[in-house]
Amino acid sequence: MTTIEAPAPAQPKRKTLYRGDPGMWSWALHRITGVTIFFFLFVHVLDTALVRVNPNTYDQIIETYKTPIVALLEMGLVVCVLYHALNGVRVILIDFWSQGPRFQKQMLWIVLTIWVLVSAAGVGRQFFYLLTEH
């Protein structure tokens, strides 16, 4: 005796790798910016420690930091720090405010708006100093 099976229901299409949920992208970007900041701090501690080891080498490294490429990397660092800080405040609100989970998506859009505005101002100021060599 054979039985006829009903066809499996159609699976919803994924919008992106993370199923399109903005919260997941926020989580991933928070981790990426955190790792970026960690590596910056690691390099910063190492190059600052060179002052005690060999001041001439320290001076040479500081001179290499005065290039336009490093200025662009600093701009990226500013963007990373701002996102990480603002999203961190959002995560704290979600965790410790009783209404946080209910308003997490709205808070994400507020954070992104503030992040874009403040990042644009910060990067604009850095471009000004890069181009005018102050």
Query: What is residue 25's predicted lDDT score, i.e. its pLDDT?
Result: 87
| pLDDT the model gives residue 20 | 65
Mean pLDDT across the chain, nearest whole number?
88
Q: Provide the greatest CA pair distance for the chain.
A: 88
Number of neighbouring beta carbons within 10 Å of residue 86 = 20
Question: Which tens digit of pLDDT belongs to each residue from 75-115?
Answer: 999 999 999 999 999 999 999 999 988 998 999 999 999 99
Percent of the chain exceeding pLDDT 90 equals 60
Residues, the chain, total? Answer: 134
pLDDT exceeds cutoff 90 at 7:
no
DSSP for 29-91 reads HHHHHHHHHHHHHHHHHHHHHHHHH-HHHHHHHHHHTTSHHHHHHHHHHHHHHHHHHHHHHHH
